Amino acid sequence: MIRLPLSPLRRAFFPAIAILALSPLLQSCFTGIESTPKITAADLRRERVTVTDEQRLVADILPAPFDDWAPGKKFITTDSRICLIFGATASSLEIPPSSLLTYRSFDTTVSPTGQPVTNLHFDTPDGSRITYRVNTSVDELRKRSYVEVPYTIQQSLVDSMKSLLKDRQLYITTRLWYDTDRRQVTSRKFIPVTITDVSPGNATYPLFVSFTDPEGHQFGVFMSAGTTSRGLRNFSEQFSLTDPRRRHATVTDEHWQLIIQGFVTPGMTRDEVRLSLGSPIDIDRGHDWTSTYERWIYDGGTFLIFEDGVLVTARR
């Protein structure tokens, strides 16, 4: 097996010979009758029920419900395939990404099967009228909190988030950043950043939040709206209003610098590892006559071994 020492700073702490000596014990403690049921990532997520200040801040920044749509409302396109959803009304048109569609009106009709449907009418930048058909009644649309027009982002959503966040200093809590060409890069987390802009995102994540790091370099992250949609790309999963270091005063400076870079090293606690790598997808627990053991499994096959709550090795 390959050891995964994500930092060279503490190699002396746990020599390779000690790892080899432990291997039979670590394997046996997870295969005998002294093991406990597996804990999944879903179990860990269910434990997080507290509403945070970050969630409260953006809770009202949502796509406008259909009942609030007024003629002239703008929609930003994210994909040229948007022509497909407008059917025959857009068959001869080209609507590139970042085009602005203007909502004009709606009307209702009955489908060939006798079901009520609603037609949503839009104008393209060149003045063409196109129609998106929703297979439900207008009364049903008015009950929904959100009516999606595929491959579009409501401009009001982008503007509202920009007004809320621009020029704020926040703390980034993800290492998955994007450069100015929107190519993914792996960087640091738990460091201060200053929000410089909020612009349209993509078909999956409607917002792109741009920021400068402490060295003045420009980066950004894709973000979903609200507090629950699209899982880990919510505002509260990517930014903190306060310095995370203050909430973890017992972590040594050495370990904190590793956490910022997404590294782990023998001697870290379970909380420190979770801060660095996030929650595992599975946890196996076991014990022998003297110690308790845990094996944390991550995507990609990486797993970590803890003895009495302290990391002893990481492998893939």
**Nearest in space to 276 (alpha carbons), one of 304, 241, 301:** 304
% of the chain residues with pLDDT over 90? 74
In Å, how far from its chain's centre is CA 161?
16
Count of CA atoms in the C-beta half-sphere (13 A) of 85 = 20
Residue 295 pLDDT > 90, yes or no?
Answer: yes
pLDDT tier, 26 (very low <50, low <70, confident <90, very high otherwise): very low
Rounded Cα distance, 77 and 100, in Å:
7
> Is residue 219 classed as helix, strand or coil in its secondary structure?
strand
Looking at beta carbons, which pairs linking 37-44 to residues 24 or more positions away fall under 8 Å? 38/282, 38/283, 38/284, 39/282, 39/283, 39/285, 40/281, 40/282, 41/279, 41/280, 41/281, 41/282, 44/279
Residue 58 pLDDT > 50, yes or no?
Answer: yes
Residue 201 burial by CB count (10 A; 0-12/13-18/19+): exposed, middle or buried? buried
Q: So what's the pLDDT on residue 38? A: 54
| Residue 50, number of CB atoms within 10 A of its CB | 6
Rounded Cα distance, 28 and 43, in Å:
25
pLDDT tier, 43 (very low <50, low <70, confident <90, very high otherwise): low
pLDDT tens digits for range 79-105: 999 999 999 999 899 999 999 999 999
In Å, how far from its chain's centre is CA 279?
14
Rounded Cα distance, 64 and 60, in Å:
10
Residue 13 pLDDT > 60, yes or no?
Answer: no
Q: What's the average model confidence in pLDDT over 5-24?
A: 38
Q: What's the average model confidence in pLDDT over 102-118?
A: 94
Residue 239 pLDDT > 70, yes or no?
Answer: yes
| Residue 186, number of CB atoms within 10 A of its CB | 10
Looking at beta carbons, which pairs linking 252-258 to residues 24 or more positions away fall under 8 Å? 254/9, 256/190, 258/6, 258/7, 258/9
Q: What are phi and psi of 11, to 5 degrees?
A: -60, -35
Q: So what's the pLDDT on residue 288? A: 86
Rounded Cα distance, 175 and 185, in Å:
8
Rounded Cα distance, 204 and 152, in Å:
10
Q: Hey, what amino acid is at 139?
A: D
- CA dist 289 → 5, 22, 294 (Å): 28, 15, 15
pLDDT tier, 112 (very low <50, low <70, confident <90, very high otherwise): confident
Residue 8 pLDDT > 70, yes or no?
Answer: no
